[in-house]
Amino acid sequence: MDASASAHWSKSTRIVAYRDAREAARNIEETGCSKAGLEIMMGKGLPLAIRVDGVPLRSAILIKQEAISAGGDAAYSADVAALRCDSTDIVLLTSACSLPILVRKLERQPFGLKKLAASITSVAAGSVPPRNFVARGRSLPLGDRTYIMGILNATPDSFSDGGLYFSENDAIAHAEKMIAEGADMIDIGGESTRPGSEPVPAEEERRRVLGIVKHLVVNSDALVSVDTMKPEVAEACLEAGAHIINDVSGLSAGPRIAELCASAEAALVVMHMRGMPGDMMRYTEYDDTVRDVIKELAERMELAVAAGVPEESLVADPGFGFSKTARQNVELLARLREVSNMGYALLVGLSRKSTIGRITGVEDAKARVPGSLAAMTVAIMNGADMVRVHDVAESVQAAKMADALRCQAAKLGF
């Protein structure tokens, strides 16, 4: 197996399992399979569909042959048979009986297909290899439980709690309360990023958060995260000992924040957003919301890696509510497993957001706790490693239940 082929399957390929016939059919159509081919594929009644993106032509032909010989099938672009393409997306159709046979066959093949076989086995089981999240020498194992990131808005104008913790003493007291309730991390923000919000000067944002960072680094065991898009704020907070920088702009201003995190051996959250908070809702047109988010987020993650941030110190955040409509947020949540398959630690922030209000009819953001917990549970079941929440005590309890269910589902192969 050559190194380039192995790298392709490990980094460039998005692999997603579907157990719903409508989702399988939609994905088969998206490969460019002919209508007649779609009818044949769906008529086979195979219960598990596994999508593999960006498969080189020579590998695609070989995979289809092996899938058929194992008792399954594979759908790909009609251009493959005419050799009119260099690569294609594939939807493998298989079953509990045929999947192990296919995996064994692929393990014996060239072109890095042994690596693909391992990935298929993992995603079909709904699991990922053991991995850790690392921030300034602190290592957290991922997969066994969900980590709770408490939200601390040291702002006068955040959407649900603006002004409540604007004084440094109030902010520190609230952070300590969240830690006592079970928060593993505290995410401190000095600038509101609600839709339509205006930017805050760097000096003012730094003034709002720096004292809180210094206090928590010295006086708590929680990981301290700073929610900022400004390199000068990030630099000051990293010098004060912050463990994580949470850049909601997704490095839109360039790699400087990533370079600062790499130098400090700190972790970096890269969130997906188009535009800036003031105008982000102008940019909600997507060909396929989930696939476009993954593609755009992956480009930013690669920028962070190039700046020196190790993959185990990177966190992907799909950006619920940022340049996305309520309908798009729901689709993203339902298909979150596709984002988790990117291979990075996954952070999800749904707490009290307007989408929950739209669905439940609850206008008061502070009254959206039940809806937030329901959305958070779905996120955990679909692969979230960390959740960013306002209501820590309630979220800790719900996350423990979701983790128990997720671990049991993985053991049973669901």
Q: Are residues 111 and 169 in the same domain?
A: no
Q: How confident is the model at residue 414 (pLDDT cuts 50, 70, 90)?
A: very low
The dihedral formed by the CA atoms of 109, 112, 114 and 119, expressed in degrees to the nearest 10: -140
Element (H, E) at 293: helix 289-306
pLDDT digits (tens, 9 = 90+) for 259-315: 999 999 999 999 999 999 889 999 999 999 998 999 999 999 999 999 999 999 999
- The tens digit of pLDDT for each residue in 42-53 reads 888 887 888 888
Boundary residue ending a domain (93, 124, 155)? 124
Residues 386 and 342 grouped into a single domain: yes
CB 147 within 8 A of CB 179: no
pLDDT of residue 162: 52
Q: Quote the Cα angle for 357-359-364, to 5°.
A: 15
3-class state of residue 69 by DSSP? helix
**pLDDT tens track for 352-378:** 999 999 999 999 999 999 999 999 999
Of 16-25, 142-151, 158-167, 282-291, the range with the lowest mean pLDDT is 158-167
On whether the CB atoms of residues 44 and 94 are closer than 8 A, the answer is no
pTM exceeding the 0.85 threshold for the entire prediction:
no
| Tokens 């010295």 -> residue | 218
**144, pLDDT greater than 90:** no
* Diameter over CA atoms, the chain: 69
> How many domains is the chain partitioned into structurally?
2
Hey, what amino acid is at 93? Answer: L
The verdict on 173 and 89 lying in the same domain is no
Q: Active-site residues: which are they?
A: 353, 388
- How many whole angstroms from its chain centre is CA 264? 24
- The domain in which residue 104 lies consists of 3-124
Residue 108: other Cβ atoms inside 10 A: 10
pLDDT reading at 318 higher than 50: yes
Domain final position from 60, 94, 124? 124
The residue out of 81, 102, 124 marking a domain boundary is 124
Mean pLDDT of 387-410: 90
- Strands 73-75 and 87-94, sheet pairing: antiparallel
Would residue 186 be called left, alpha or beta, if left means φ above 0 and alpha means ψ between -120 and 50 degrees?
beta
- Residues 66, 117, single domain; the answer is yes
Q: What is the pLDDT of residue 380?
A: 95
Q: Measure the CA–CA gap between 141 and 385, rounded to whole angstroms.
A: 10
